Structure 1
Amino acid sequence: MSKWKTFPHDASGFAYEGDALWKAWERLHAGDQEPWPEDEASQDAWRAYHRGDFQNAVALGLKAETASGMAAANKAQSIYATYLVEDEDEKKELFEEVADRAEVALKEYPNSINAHYQHAYALGRYSQAISIAKALAQGLAGKCKASLDKTLALAPDHAEAHIALGAYHAEIIGKVGSMVGSLTYGVSKDAAEAHYQKALELISGSAIARIEYANGLLTMYGNKKVKDATALYEEAAECEAADAMERLDVEFAKSELSD
C-alpha cells in the first residue's frame, strides 16, 4: 500500500482519546448505527478514522480481526477514496477492495450492519466512477440495493443507508428517466425524496444528508430544483463537524457554493 495523502485540515478537535470516544460514540455514529466495540484494537481503529488518519485506520481495523474493525477499515478507505483521491483508476481500485472485503465480511459477520452498508457504499461509489450506465449493465445496482435493504432490515434508523437509497433512486432516474426507472428498477422520485428526508430526521445536523439530497434533486429535476439544492448546500456548509469525515463533508459543500 503506497503512502496515502494526509488529512488536509486541522484534526486537533477529533482525537477522542481514552473515554472521550465512548462519550462521543452516539453522536459520531448516529449516521451508521455502528455498535460500540468492546475490544481496544477496534476502538483504536475508529479513533484513527475519526481524526482523519485513514491509512492507519485501515491497517488497525484489519489487524483487529473483528466486525467493527473491518467496518472502520472499510469506512476509512471509502471516505479517503471519495474525498482525497483524484485519480479515477485509483478510486475504482480502492472501492473495489472495499467491496471485496465487505463481501468476505458478509459471510463472516452476517449480522454486521456496516458490512452490508459498506458493501453497498463501495459498489455505489464504484458505479459512479465507471458511469451509472455501465453499472446498470453489469447488474451492480441490484447488488447495491440488496445490501442497503439488508442494512435497513438490521438497523431501520441507519441514516446513511437511507441517504444511499435516496441516491440509488435518484441516479437511476437521472440515467434512464422516471418511466423506465419505475418499470424496470422500481425507483421513483417520491421514494428518493422520502429516503433523503428520513435521513435528515435521523441526523438533523448532518452536512452529508443535505449534500446528497441536493445532489439527488439536481439529478432528478435539473435546473428546476437549483434553488432548493443551493439552500441545502448552504445549510451543509454551516454544519458543525465532529470528526474528519464530517469536516470533509462541510468543506465539500463550501466548494460547491464557490464554483
Structure 2
Amino acid sequence: MAATSQPFWRSLCLIVLCAISLQAHAARDDDSDDEMDEVTPEELQMQEIPVDERIFLEKWNEVPYKKSFFTYTDEQIREKWTHLMRGLKVPYPSAAYMKKNFEKYPFMKDGIVDWNGDYQVLETRSLQVWRLFFAGDFQKAREEGLKLGPMGEIPALFSQLMYAIYLTDRQSIKYMMLQDVANRAEIYFDVMAEAENDPEVAPIVASVKLGYAYAIARIAEESPVPIVVARRYIGKIKNSAEEIVEIMPEQPLAHAFRAGVDAGIMRRVGKFTGRMTYGARTTTVEESFSDALRLAPDIPIVNYEYANALIYMNRKRDLNEAISYLEKAMKIRPEFSMDALDVMYSYKRLQEVRLYALNFRSFRKFEKLRRKFSKKTDRNLTSVLSEPLTMDMLNNPENYVLPERN
C-alpha cells in the first residue's frame, strides 16, 4: 500500500471501531442486535457532500397548496411580522434598521447586487423576498434573496431548507441542497462574531447559525453512524446548538433545536453512549422543549419535534404522548409556508410512527430499514409530496427505486 494512503486507512479503522462500539452501546439501550449500516470507503473519506449546481437551475417542485393563501402585501407583512417571526425572532428589515446596522457592521451590506445606497429601495426588495418565502415560492425567494447579502440570505436559505426537506423527490438532491445551505452560512461565521452580543443584530447571527446547524443535522439524522463519526457531525451540531441558545435565548426554535439535537444523539447511539460520549441528556431535552413551548406553543415544528424526541428517548413508552403532540401540530392553523409544510409533514410522520408501533419491537430495526429504503431508492422520506412509508416499501425497496437522473 502506498505510504500516502496509510493515514486514510488508519482513520478508516478507527472510525469503524468507534462506530462498532457505538452500536454495541446502543444495542444495550434498545435490545437490538442489528448489524451496522453498510458504507463505502469513498463515503467515509468524503467530508462534505459535493453539490451539483444544476439542482438550482432545474425547475423546483411546487408547494401542494395555493400560494395565494399566504401571499401578503407589504402592509400585511408589517402587521403580521411579529407573529410570523415568533420562531426565529428576525427583526423587520426596515430602511432605518438596515441603515443603522449596516453602518455598525459593514459585512451586512456585502454582496448586495444592483443597489445604489437607497435604504427604502432595499426595504422594498427585502419585503419582496420575504413575501416569496411566506407564500412558498422558494426557488424565486432563493434567487432574489442571494442578491441582498446576509439579510437576504436568511429567507433565501430557509427557502432552500424548506424545499430540500419537504419538496424534493430525491434524497441525493436533498443532501446536496442541505450541504449548500451549510456552506453558504458558514462563510459568515467569522465576520458575524463581532455582532453576537448586539441585541439588535444577534437574531441575524443566530438565524444564520441555525440554518447551518439545521442543515447538517438533517443530513446526519439519516446518515449511517460511521459517516456521522467520520464527518464529526455530532460535535459540530451540538456545539452550534449551544452557541445559538447563548446568542439568542429568546428564540424558540433555538431551544427546540438544542433539545432535538440531544434527542437525535440518543436516537442514533442510545441513551448511555449519548450521555457518556456526547453529553446528551434527557433533562436537556425536556427543559429545552419546555422553554420552546413556553415561548411559542403554536409552532408546528416545535410540537412535532417534541413528539420525535419522546420516541427517540423512550421508544414506545411515551408513544401516546408523542402521538398527541403530532396531532396537536396537525391542528395548528398555518399562516405561512413553513408552518403549512410542517403541519403536512406532521401527518406523514404520524403514519410512520403508527407503522413502527404496529409492526416493530425494535426501534433501531425500524430506523435501519427506513435508511436502507431511502438509500436504495433515493427517495426523500420527508417529502410531503409522496405517500407515507409502508411495510411493502420497507420489505421491497427494489420496487420503488427512482429512475436515474439525466
Alignment TM class, shorter chain as reference:
over 0.9
Give the drift of 1:204.
Answer: 1.1
In structure 1, how many angstroms separate the alpha carbons of the residues matched to 2:190 and 2:128? Answer: 24
Deviates more, 1:121-130 or 1:106-115: 106-115
Residue 213 of structure 1 pairs with residue 310 of structure 2? no
In structure 2, how many angstroms separate the alpha carbons of the residues matched to 1:121 and 1:256? Answer: 18
Q: Which residue of 149, 159, 162 corresponds with 1:79? A: 162
In structure 1, how many angstroms separate the alpha carbons of the residues matched to 2:90 and 2:334? Answer: 18
In structure 2, how many angstroms separate the alpha carbons of the residues matched to 1:186 and 1:30? Answer: 29
Is the partner of 2:72 in helix, strand or coil?
Answer: coil
Q: Which residue of 232, 235, 239 corresponds with 1:139? A: 232
Give the drift of 1:16.
Answer: 1.8
Give the drift of 1:179.
Answer: 1.9
**For residues 27 and 136 of structure 1, do their structure 2 counterparts lie closer, same or farther at Cα, with a shift above 3 Å needed?**
farther
In structure 2, how many angstroms separate the alpha carbons of the residues matched to 1:105 and 1:42? Answer: 19
Q: For 1:121-140, what aligned pairs fall within 5 Å after superposition?
A: 121-131=214-224, 134-140=227-233
In structure 2, how many angstroms separate the alpha carbons of the residues matched to 1:243 and 1:81? Answer: 17
Aligned position for 1:185: 278
Q: What TM-score comes out, normalization by structure 1 length?
A: 0.94
What percentage of aligned pairs have identical amino acids? Answer: 29
Aligned position for 1:152: 245
In structure 2, how many angstroms separate the alpha carbons of the residues matched to 1:236 and 1:135? Answer: 29
Aligned position for 1:63: 147
Q: Which runs of 5+ in 1 are unaligned?
A: none
In structure 2, how many angstroms separate the alpha carbons of the residues matched to 1:108 and 1:222? Answer: 42
Give the drift of 1:17.
Answer: 1.4
* Amino acid paired to 2:232: G
In structure 2, how many angstroms separate the alpha carbons of the residues matched to 1:33 and 1:176? Answer: 33
Deviates more, 1:178-187 or 1:73-82: 178-187
Larger radius of gyration: 2
Residue 175 of structure 1 pairs with residue 268 of structure 2? yes
**For residues 133 and 166 of structure 1, do their structure 2 counterparts lie closer, same or farther at Cα, with a shift above 3 Å needed?**
farther
Q: Which runs of 5+ in 2 are unaligned?
A: 1-55, 95-122, 196-204, 353-406
**For residues 133 and 37 of structure 1, do their structure 2 counterparts lie closer, same or farther at Cα, with a shift above 3 Å needed?**
farther
Q: Which residue of 113, 122, 128 corresponds with 1:44? A: 128
* Amino acid paired to 2:306: Y
Give the drift of 1:145.
Answer: 2.0
Q: Which 4+ stretches in 1 moved above 6 angstroms?
A: none
In structure 2, how many angstroms separate the alpha carbons of the residues matched to 1:194 and 1:82? Answer: 26
Q: Which residue of 217, 224, 227 corresponds with 2:320? A: 227
Deviations 1:9-34 (A, max 9, x none): 12223112111111111111110111
Aligned residues: 258
Aligned position for 2:51: none
Is the partner of 1:85 in helix, strand or coil?
Answer: coil
Aligned position for 1:106: 189
Give the drift of 1:132.
Answer: 5.1
CA contact (8 A) 1:99 1:118 kept: yes
CA contact (8 A) 1:51 1:244 kept: yes
Deviates more, 1:20-29 or 1:123-132: 123-132
Is the partner of 2:59 in helix, strand or coil?
Answer: coil
CA contact (8 A) 1:16 1:47 kept: yes
CA contact (8 A) 2:63 2:136 kept: yes
Residue 237 of structure 1 pairs with residue 333 of structure 2? no
In structure 2, how many angstroms separate the alpha carbons of the residues matched to 1:145 and 1:258? Answer: 29
Bigger relative contact order, structure 1 or 2 (CA pairs below 8 A, ≥6 apart): 2
In structure 2, how many angstroms separate the alpha carbons of the residues matched to 1:131 and 1:54? Answer: 29
* Amino acid paired to 1:90: I
Deviates more, 1:213-222 or 1:40-49: 40-49
* Amino acid paired to 2:141: A
Give the drift of 1:109.
Answer: 3.3
Is the partner of 2:322 in helix, strand or coil?
Answer: helix
Q: Which residue of 32, 47, 51 corresponds with 2:88? A: 32
CA contact (8 A) 1:218 1:226 kept: yes
* Amino acid paired to 1:98: V
* Amino acid paired to 1:187: A
Q: Give 1 or 2: higher helix fraction.
A: 1
Q: What TM-score comes out, normalization by structure 2 length?
A: 0.61
